[in-house]
Amino acid sequence: MSSWNSDVDLSGKNSLGFKVTAERYLQVDSIESLRIALYEVEQNNWPLLILGGGSNLVLKDYLPGAVISVATQGVHVLVDNESEAIVEVGAGENWHGFVGQLLQMGLHGLENLALIPGNVGAAPVQNIGAYGVELADCFHSLTAYDRKSGELVQLSKEQCQFGYRDSIFKSKEPGRYIIWQVRFSLSSVFQPNLSYKGLQEYLSSIGVREPNAHDVYKAVCEIRQSKLPTPSEIGNAGSFFENPVVPEAEYHRIKQDYPSLVAYPDRESHYKLAAGWLIDQAGWKGHCSGSVGVYDKQALVLVNHGGGSCTELLDLAKEIQDSVLDKFGVSLQMEPRVYPV
């Protein structure tokens, strides 16, 4: 039998800092312990949450059934030659710590994703992205436990079906795979990705014309810290809404009424609108509603000022969605997952 802990307080294991109680909680770092735990879950028909860093979740007050945290650790270079370095990392490693470790190792490609909260295992689920780079850009493959077959499986980039803030783990087959290890294809030759205008402008403003990897990493961290709250100081789940992608005709309709609209070309004949700009223009930046609110430096981030709850936050999110839809005719989709549904 597994050594489940009962009625565990998960306040420190979700970045919003909500007071959450798990009926049962277990941390695993071996496939054997995972299999035993899953057997008990299935035999008892318990609801199950696989918990990483808790950074992209909105948790309700009580989590019935079981919560399992994957704690696999380690960073290993599997291949290192002139053209490519393949690095394998445990799902339980902290994402930002991993990016910093790669920098020290002289391996490049993930600098633009520095300071994103959460663990490595959750990163492919959301296909995290920032400042012109997505995880999929440097992804090689991963190892996951397939609950359907009861075996460890290897999934390629194609099999993960990455999309904008999406993957097979999020929308196609949620709950089937438990990510155990992730592999990235990186390079010892640094080629800066400055496609994000704000990053390029920031580097220019501090006099950096030909940035090295440390310059980009430091710039990304400084930009994020200037715009986004640190979860340990102000509870938040990062960007709360996805940037909506609309047909070109819809973009021009909104642009005609709102010339300062912030948007970027996306796939053919579509534009990606800046959700933060839409929310800001609808008058929500800095708004407080009880113990929760909209961050005063970035309207895309909803925050818990202390003592807030899932219900309060979701009510606020719904008000924002309704407001943006009414003003612009655009539907906003939440990024974080709500659990239990």
Active site residues: 165, 239, 335
Closest CA to 27 of 71, 63, 66, 61: 71
Task: Give 175: exposed, middle or buried? Use CB within 10 Å, 0-12, 13-18, 19+.
Answer: exposed
Asked if 70 and 118 count as a contact pair (C-beta separation under 8 A), the reply is: no
Q: How far is CA 34 from CA 38, 41, 68, 73, in A?
A: 6, 10, 8, 15
For 291, list phi and psi in degrees, rounded to 5.
-90, 0
Task: Go through the chain and tell me how many residues it has.
Answer: 341
Q: Classify the C-alpha dihedral 20-24-27-28 as positive or negative.
A: negative
Pair 78, 89: CB distance under 8 Å: no
- The region, left, alpha or beta by phi > 0 then psi within -120 to 50, assigned to residue 7 is left
Q: Which sign does the torsion angle of CA 99, 103, 109, 113 carry?
A: positive
104 CB-near residues (< 8 Å, 6+ apart):
none
Residue 86 vs residues 129, 132, 141, 186: alpha-carbon distances, Å: 20, 22, 10, 6
Element of type H or E holding 153: strand 151-156
